[in-house]
A and B are shown apart, each in its own frame.
Chain A
Amino acid sequence: MKEGRPRSFYVLAIFFAAYVLFLYGPMIAIYVLSFQGPQGGLTFPMNGVSTFWIAKLFKGTGIVDLGAAFRRSLLLGIIVMIVTVVLSVAAGMAFRRKFKAQSILFYSAIASLIVPSIITSLGISLEFRIIDDLIKAHWNENFETSMGLLTSGLGAHLTWTLPFGLLIMFAIFNRFDPRLEEAARDLGATPWQTFRHVVLPIILPSVIGIGLFGFTLSWDELARSSQAIGAVNTLPLDLQGLTTTVTNPDIYALGTVISAVSFTVIALALGTIAMLNKRQAAKGSDAGQGLV
């Protein structure tokens, strides 16, 4: 083969660097702009440096009730994360052997991923409207609505996070060595013990990845929430509402705060994954430990 790096390497390296700059540049601009002084505007140059706009958000005197929306988004994100992890791992295990309806579940997941979000969202809202009408007609005339954060909203978010979870599980079990389970079985482990002490520790780093996907996809979700979440708003919905009336940098401040949460969760998850991988590398082998 050729020695050294071909010219195309340098061309593509520059192209890649430009792409990364394109990805991050604008975002960094708003993070910087959110730290303007009280007189700050929407564009550069910055008008003083302060945490005025971020403090304003947390005082709740701004345009949105940040605290309430923040708590709602956080609650929903955490529940979505837990449900996504549990259901994805369970379904991923099921896909390791043939079962009826296997292809139905697979195609449902893929379709859920690629059917435009607005259609899924509209469908869920229609479904809950019809349920509401039924309850009003047959049981309780004063019934308000069954739509809400943890009913229609949770369902809408799961149609987005579960397909990702399932696809990650496929990737995990593609490179999983089933002989490890056979060994556990031969040693007399029950199926649960095999899962708990052999399978789970090995797949745990990737399972945390699924949790990371679940939380952040829900935390930033907008299109599916738009019609399906009911009367209350999540943070991204509030943020979208602000875009039409924005004149102050508080929208940037809100953006910075939301991103800070996303980045914290990503960093925590990646840190945990790295730690688990290190642990696995250190304790996963007994080579050189002697016979006893």
Chain B
Amino acid sequence: MSEEVLQQAAPGLVPGSGTARAAKPTRLSPSFISWLQAGPMMLVFLAFFLIPLVFVVIVSFWDYNEYQLLPAFSGRGYTDTFEGCIAQLPDLCTIGKTYVKTLKLCFMVWAITLFIGFWVAYFLAFHVKSKTWQMGLSLLCTIPFWTSNVIRMIAWIPLLGRNGLVNSGLVKTGLVNHPVEWLLFSEFSVVLALVHLFTFFMVVPIFNSMIRIDKSLIEAAYDAGATGFQTLVNVIIPLAKPGIVIGSIFVITIVMGDFITIGVMGGQQIAAAGKIIETRVNALQFPAAAANAVILLVITFLIITMMSRIVDIKKEL
């Protein structure tokens, strides 16, 4: 503090002293400058993320009719969602089945993207030696991420459709008599498209943690007589864990909330957590949509908490 006062009193006497950033005295305190710099972004998140989340929770307890929101406390959004769940026991009700299906899709996509993402990142980090090649090949994997998801989804139609390349190939080689129907607008095509779209979110964080691994650790393991597999399990995987967890969190949250890929690639036939919200919004049942959003948020949050428990992400970071 006294340094700042001195600086203001006699500019130039204490150049670059202490934590004060300014060489010349300014009337702005460092903390005020920080607010000025970070404030606008904070305001955007406040106005378009935090307050909207609060509204989702509030509106989930409002009442509704066919035309409008009724700002009065009601549990209808939730009771409508869980309608018949107790009566149907031990069978799963609609919402229960939908969540089981969503979790199943989520698990499959997670397992596949993790497998592909891990080996792609491993190849880039450990086998590609030249920095230029490393950058070029990473860029090659990144570019599709920058183009429209819908285009990347419909790109499967000419391949998987009834008269698509795969089917005509199968029919021509005589493997099947009729075109295979389950290739498109099915769970298979949903998983395929999700893997196609989101493996990127696994590759990048895993690559980032692998690239930071000290190569001498691997040489040390090698010198100590470890096999390649032992090095992988005992050295590389533990050190790449933060990246694996971050990538997994991205993929899982995206798939849990997805309604576009599941809609387009499932031929609008597959129920999923995100699609319930979309359907409710389209029917203008906002409190019910909000109630489902809260449920989805809680479940997603639980999964993330569980994952960060398993690997103790705080210790890793």
Residues of A1-56 at the interface with B, using a CB-CB cut-off of 8 Å, are 1, 5-6, 8-9, 12-13, 15-16, 19-20, 22-27, 29-30, 33, 41-44
Against B, the Cβ 8 Å flags (1 = close, 0 = not) of A169-210 are 000000000000010011011110000000000000000000
Answer whether residue B120 sits at the interface, using C-beta atoms and an 8 A cutoff: yes
Is A275 part of the binding interface, using a Cβ–Cβ cutoff of 8 Å? no
Candidate in A101, A223, A244 with the most chain B CB atoms within 10 angstroms: A223
9 A-B pairs with least C-beta separation: A116-B257, A123-B52, A155-B48, A99-B34, A26-B155, A94-B37, A94-B38, A255-B151, A12-B123
Asked whether, in the complex, the Cβ of A108 is within 8 Å of the Cβ of B149, the reply is no
Q: Which of B79-87, B90-98, B139-147, B234-242 contacts A (4 or more CB under 8 A)?
A: B139-147
Q: B277 touching A190 by the CB < 8 A rule?
A: no
B36, B139, B143, B290: residue with the most chain A Cβ atoms closer than 10 Å: B143
CB of A44, distance to nearest CB on chain B (Å) = 6
Contact status A191-B23, CB under 8 Å: yes
Q: Please, what's the 1-or-0 string for A74-103, where 1 marks a CB less than 8 Å from any CB in chain B?
A: 000000000000111011011101011110
Once the chains are docked, how many angstroms separate the CA of A15 from the CA of B253? 27
Q: Which of the residues B23, B40, B47, B277 comes within 8 Å of A87, measured between beta carbons?
A: B40
B55-A126 in contact (CB<8A): yes
Mask of A249-271 contacts with B, CB within 8 angstroms, 1/0 = 00110010011001100100010
B75 at the interface (CB under 8 A from A): no
Interface string of A115-127 (1 = CB under 8 A from B): 1111110111111
Q: Which residues of A contact B22 (CB under 8 A)?
A: 190-191
- Docked pose: A185 CA to B26 CA in angstroms: 14
Q: Select A44's contact among B52, B144, B158, beta carbons within 8 Å.
A: B158
**Which of A111, A255, A263, A270 has most B Cβ within 10 Å?**
A255
Contacts A1-B219, A190-B24 given; indicate if A223 touches B260 (C-beta within 8 A). Answer: yes
Among B42, B150, B153, which residue has the most Cβ atoms of chain A within 10 A? Answer: B150
Instruction: Check A258–B140 contact: CB distance below 8 A.
Output: no
Q: Which of B50, B146, B148 is the most central at the interface, judged by chain A CB atoms within 10 Å of its CB?
A: B148
Question: What residues make up the interface of A, taking CB atoms closer than 8 Å to B?
Answer: 1, 5-6, 8-9, 12-13, 15-16, 19-20, 22-27, 29-30, 33, 41-44, 86-88, 90-91, 93-95, 97, 99-102, 104-105, 108-109, 111-120, 122-127, 129-130, 133, 152, 155-156, 158-159, 162, 166, 182, 185-186, 188-191, 212, 216-217, 219-220, 222-223, 226-227, 235-236, 239-240, 243-244, 246, 251-252, 255, 258-259, 262-263, 266, 270
Q: Is B110 close to A, CB under 8 A?
A: no
**Chain A interface SS verdict (over half):** helix
Complex alpha-carbon distance, A86 and B39, angstroms: 12
> Per-position contact with A for B243-254: 1 when CB-CB < 8 Å, else 0?
000000110011
Q: A116, B254: Cβ atoms under 8 Å?
A: yes
The CA-CA distance from A108 to B152 in the complex, in Å, is 30
The smallest beta-carbon distance between A274 and chain B, in angstroms, is 11
Q: Which residues of B contact A220 (CB under 8 A)?
A: 146-149
New contact pairs (17) apart from A8-B228, A23-B196, A118-B257, CB-CB < 8 Å? A19-B120, A20-B140, A22-B196, A24-B144, A42-B161, A109-B41, A118-B278, A123-B51, A190-B23, A212-B146, A216-B146, A227-B281, A235-B148, A240-B260, A259-B147, A262-B146, A263-B147
Interface range, B side: 35 or more
Cα distance, A125 to B257, chains bound together (Å): 17
Bound complex: CA of A120 vs CA of B50, how far in Å? 9
What is the minimal beta-carbon distance from A221 to any residue of chain B, in angstroms? 9
Q: Which of A120, A235, A240 touches B49 (beta carbons < 8 Å)?
A: A120
A119 adjacent to B264 (CB under 8 Å): no
Determine the chain B residues whose CB is within 8 A of the CB of A252 once the complex forms: 154
Chain B contacts of A27 at CB under 8 A? 144, 147, 151-152, 155
Provide the residues of chain B in CB contact with A33, threshold 8 Å: 158
Binding site for A on B (CB under 8 A): 12, 15-16, 19, 21-24, 26, 30-31, 33-38, 40-42, 44-53, 55-56, 59, 69, 116, 119-120, 122-124, 127, 137, 139-141, 143-144, 146-159, 161, 163-165, 168, 196, 199, 219, 222, 228, 249-250, 253-254, 256-260, 264, 268, 274, 277-278, 281, 286, 289-290, 293, 296-297, 300, 304
> Which of A113, A119, A223 is close to B293, meaning CB atoms less than 8 Å apart?
A119
A244 to B153, CA, bound (A): 12
Bound-complex Cα distance A235 to B149 (A)? 12
Contact A30 B155 (CB under 8 A): yes
Does B165 contact A258, Cβ atoms closer than 8 Å?
no
Give the chain B neighbours of A6 by CB distance below 8 A.
228
Q: Are B16 and A186 in contact (CB under 8 A)?
A: yes
Known contacts A9-B127, A189-B23, A240-B264, A119 near B257 by CB under 8 Å: yes
Q: Evaluate whether A115 and B31 lie within 8 angstroms (CB atoms) in the complex, with A26-B156, A240-B260 already known.
A: no
B127 touches A112 (CB 8 A): no
Partner of B127, one of A12, A42, A116, A226: A12
